[in-house]
Amino acid sequence: MTQQALIPTDQQQQEIVTLVLDGLNSHESKRAYGKALADFLAWYAESGRPGLDKRTVQRYKTVLTESGLSPATVNLRLSAIRKLAAEAADNDLLDPNTAAAIAKVKGVETAGVKTGTWLDREQAQRLINTPITKTLKGLRDRAILAILIGTGIRRSEAARLTFDHLQQREGRWVILDIVGKRQRVRTIPMPSFPKAAVDEWAQAAGISQGRVFRSFRRGGRIEGDSMTAQAIYDVVRYYGALCGFGLAAHDTRRTYAKLAEQGGADLRQISLSLGHASIKTTERYLGTEQNLVDAPCDRLGIKLG
């Protein structure tokens, strides 16, 4: 076995992939890295196992770029491969110098800032009020939408939300000490409408402990004591489609930030609520440099005859 060969057996491949995934905290990151590595290893095998080195990774980067994937997707996949190389080196399956060279493979540069999707206040109000609250499931779904838009938490955080997180501090309700990405702990102030929606759902469901949101069986019966992040994603997509919005779960988070910013909230406080590493991240997230309400095109003074 040469040190540049990737991993000579399928079993060793899977062992290294497992080490990579075990080093991640987020379920979403595990899933994304798992797919990235599965795709890379399949391509690597189809290419005749040319050896894991910087040239091979750069060649794969070209394949990904020419396939039409977005820069963000390409960069995520390269990040997974860099971590794979590092784990292979740590387990004496790859020369450390080769792993260091792979770590220097640059990602794809992005031009501009992707604007993303968000709702205005009327659209957000309409979305939250779309579920039929005469049913237990409708009450749950309204509470999910209200929490996502009212606090800006991630769908994975909503899935992990417990009644113990809902506490009063300094005369108001908050989501206390929720753990987000990279194990960051934060406390999020909560307006009255998501708390009221959660209270109505909890009272109707007869629950007051454990996870706030629960899954349903066919027929409208609660099943189990939790709900997956994917199921919450599906709730947002479903009601977004009913309203005629092309909406994903993360768009509710952006909606929270946009509405708070438009309402005059301090950017630093928005950043703290979102759990961003810095205000710069929040600025890129909001695209604050571009004003879509009072835009340059509004000043042209041209009309059709």
What 53-59 contacts at long range (C-beta under 8 Å, 24+ apart), as own/partner pairs, is 53/4, 53/98, 53/101, 53/102, 54/98, 54/101, 54/102, 54/104, 54/105, 57/81, 57/85, 57/102, 57/105, 58/105
Q: Which spans in 178-299 are helix H?
A: 192-205, 229-242, 249-262, 267-274, 279-286
Q: Mapped to the 3 state alphabet, what secondary structure does 82-121 carry?
A: HHHHHHHHHCCCCCHHHHHHHHCCCCCCCCCCCCCCCCCH
The pLDDT of residue 48 is: 85
C-alpha span between 192 and 63 (Å, rounded): 50
CB neighbour class for 136 (10 Å; exposed up to 12, middle 13-18, buried from 19): middle
Q: State residue 167 phi and psi, 5-degree precision.
A: -135, 160
Give me the tens of pLDDT residue by residue for the chain, a chain 305 residues long: 344 445 445 666 777 888 888 877 667 778 888 888 989 988 988 888 888 889 999 999 999 988 888 787 888 899 999 998 888 888 888 888 998 999 999 888 765 444 457 888 999 999 999 999 999 999 999 999 999 999 999 999 999 999 999 999 888 899 999 988 878 889 999 999 999 999 999 999 999 999 999 998 877 788 889 999 999 999 999 999 999 888 888 889 889 988 888 888 888 888 888 888 777 777 766 765 555 555 555 555 655 65
CA angle 36, 41, 43 (to 5 degrees): 95
CATH code of the region 10-103 = 1.10.150.130
Specify the length of the chain in residues. Answer: 305
Q: Check if the beta carbon of residue 209 is closer than 8 Å to that of residue 185.
A: no
Fold of 121-286: hpI Integrase; Chain A (1.10.443)
From residue 112, alpha-carbon distances to 117, 280, 293 in Å are 16, 15, 19
For the chain, the domains span: 10-103, 121-286
**Exposed, middle or buried, 277 (CB in 10 Å: 0-12/13-18/19+)?**
exposed
Locate 275 and state its tokens.
């759990």
* CATH topology agreement for domains 10-103 and 121-286: no
Query: Cα separation of 287 and 281, whole Å?
Result: 10
Global pTM value: 0.63
Instruction: Give the pairing type, strands 185-189 and 215-216.
Output: unpaired
278 vs 294: CA distance, rounded Å: 27
Is 235 within 8 Å of 146 (Cβ atoms)? no
